[in-house]
Amino acid sequence: MRSLATTDPDFPGDFAALLAAPRATQEDVRGAVAAIIAEVRERGDAALAALTARFDRFDPATVPLRVGAAEIDAASRAIAPERARALALAAARIEDFHRRQMPPDLATEEPTGLRLGLRWTPLDAVGLYVPGGKAAYPSSVLMNAIPARVAGVRRLAMCVPAPGGVLNPLVLAAARLAGVDEIYRVGGAQAIAALAFGTAMIAPVDRIVGPGNAYVAEAKRQVYGQVGIDAIAGPSEVVVLADAANDPRLVAIDLLAQAEHDEAAQAILITDDATFAARVAAAIAAELPTLPRAAIAGASLAAHGAVIVVRGWEEAVALVNQLAPEHLELMVAEPEALFSRIRHAGAAFLGRFAPEALGDYIAGPNHVLPTARSARFASGLAVFDFLKRTTWIAAPDARALGELGPAAITLAEAEGLGAHARSIALRLGQNTPPA
């Protein structure tokens, strides 16, 4: 991991380089993705079958792309009881937290009788993309599907890559818990194209959510406008603010927990104690070889990890607001006070006993969060992503129009929009056009 210190005269340039360093793949996949989308639009299910055979190495003629109810039932029964209980607990907590987010409709009435309001309605259909490459993520199924169900979405269609035609039973069990029974063994850009434009087998949806590789991200970018999307997800990241009162091993393992996601993941420690920083580095060196995904975590830390020593927490807060991390851990004596000064973070974890992994699985808030500094302007997945707002205006008689109309006429005429002005004026008995 690179080491930086705010006392170093080169720190501004070094920190700027850290911010600007690319982490997502530099491969230009735009042309390949456009070709896949075009093929799916033209050939539909035949293209899905051919692309699946090519990329996931199984024959859809023998292993159907649509997952049947019997297979979902069998997978749900096959998982170990303790895993079933853990999934059920996670699902219940995620549902409870997201139900508390549901916004109320708005309605007001003015003395003139004019009534104004806002109504929330769910989307009709949502596509869920679940990664299936380097690891299987049943937690992602819960985090993407449950808020949609809570919002009232009637149809959820899930696509998940299945190398060799095999799906992880935990993924299917999580889908069953979340109320998803429309599942396809289709991954990559072809899955995004099918969800966006539809085929004979897969009806189109209104919004696509869920992370994926560079091809999935680019496909979501290219179909945006035809459908809505949640975000263009980048590699995962964490910033840990920790003082010297912490156990360095706990800080080290939290950094490694993020690094083991992907070689492009990023883990950054910010501390006000150089000696403690060295102890954390030593703990990382001791812990890393013991991890099942040591090679991935090591590559991530070597390429993108950093330790930043600051002179105080004011400097730390300023750096966090520039980093705008996906995950922020505040392992300090008074985390709430520090958190009150943080403006940009996808999700915050306050205190020494609130590791980011708790939020990944079981706490309740969503783990689908803005990456690549997009927490400056974006938020994590929520019920709001599956709802639309419709405003409404009701006028039972001419009283409100008589009071507000003249100002509206003035503004319409100032903009040169005569029909706009006349639509109000005629109702007020003014400016009647000649017969």
Q: Which pair of tokens denotes residue 420? A: 């706009």
Spell 42-56 as b/e; 16+ CB within 10 A means b: eebbebbbebbeebb
Beta strands in 114-242 (DSSP E): 115-122, 125-129, 155-159, 182-184, 207-209, 228-229, 237-242
Q: pLDDT tens digits for 329-366?
A: 999 999 999 999 999 999 999 999 999 999 999 999 99
DSSP codes joined into one string, 256-287: HHHHTT-TT-EEEEEES-HHHHHHHHHHHHHH
| Cα-Cα end-to-end distance for the chain | 81
What pLDDT is attached to residue 132? 77
What pLDDT is attached to residue 213? 87
Angle in degrees, 0-180, between the axes of helices 169-178 and 138-151, rounded to the nearest 10: 10
Q: pLDDT tens digits for 279-306?
A: 999 999 999 999 999 999 999 999 999 9
Q: What band does 435 get if pLDDT is binned at 50, 70 and 90?
A: very low
List % helix, strand, coil for the chain (3-state, nearest 5).
Answer: 50, 15, 35
Q: What band does 109 get if pLDDT is binned at 50, 70 and 90?
A: very high
Q: Which pair of tokens denotes residue 100? A: 């508390």
Average pLDDT estimate for 125-154 = 90
Name the residues annotated as catalytic.
Answer: 326-327
Q: What is the CA radius of gyration of the chain?
A: 26
DSSP assignment, residue 71? H
Question: Average pLDDT of the chain?
Answer: 95
What pLDDT is attached to residue 137? 86
For residues 122 and 5, give the distance between their C-alpha atoms in angstroms, rounded to a whole number. 49
Q: What band does 372 get if pLDDT is binned at 50, 70 and 90?
A: very high
Q: pLDDT tens digits for 226-240?
A: 999 998 888 999 999
Q: pLDDT tens digits for 51-79?
A: 999 999 999 999 999 999 999 999 999 99
Neighbours of 355 (CB within 10 A): 19
**Range among 26-35, 65-74, 128-137 rated most confident:** 65-74
Average pLDDT estimate for 387-402 = 95
For residues 248 and 354, give the distance between their C-alpha atoms in angstroms, rounded to a whole number. 15
Q: pLDDT tens digits for 245-281?
A: 999 999 999 999 999 998 999 999 999 999 999 999 9
- Amino acid (1-letter code) at residue 367: H
Task: Return the half-sphere exposure (C-beta side, CA atoms, 13 A cut-off) of residue 277.
Answer: 18
What pLDDT is attached to residue 434? 47
What pLDDT is attached to residue 22? 87
User: Per-residue pLDDT for 171 more than 60?
Assistant: yes
Average pLDDT estimate for 44-48 = 97
Biggest CA-to-CA distance, the chain: 91
Q: What band does 431 get if pLDDT is binned at 50, 70 and 90?
A: low
What pLDDT is attached to residue 308? 98
**CA nearest neighbour of 277 among 301, 309, 323:** 309
136 vs 279: which has the higher pLDDT: 279
CA angle 212, 295, 259 (to 5 degrees): 55
Task: Using a pLDDT cut of 70, give the percent of the chain over it.
Answer: 97
- Amino acid (1-letter code) at residue 106: L
What pLDDT is attached to residue 26? 60
Cα 291 → chain centroid: 27
How far apart, in Å, are the Cα atoms of 149 and each of 152, 160, 178, 207, 362?
5, 19, 8, 14, 18
What pLDDT is attached to residue 86? 97
Average pLDDT estimate for 117-123 = 98
Spell 281-311 as b/e; 16+ CB within 10 A means b: bebbeebbeebebeebbbbbbebbbbbbbbe
Strand partners, 72: none
How far apart, in Å, are the Cα atoms of 114 and each of 272, 390, 409, 424?
58, 17, 18, 15
How far apart, in Å, are the Cα atoms of 128 and each of 67, 137, 167, 277?
15, 13, 15, 40
Domains of the chain: 30-230 (3.40.50.1980), 234-380 (3.40.50.1980), 397-428 (no CATH)
From its phi and psi, is residue 431 left (phi > 0), alpha (psi between -120 and 50) or beta? left
- Amino acid (1-letter code) at residue 43: R
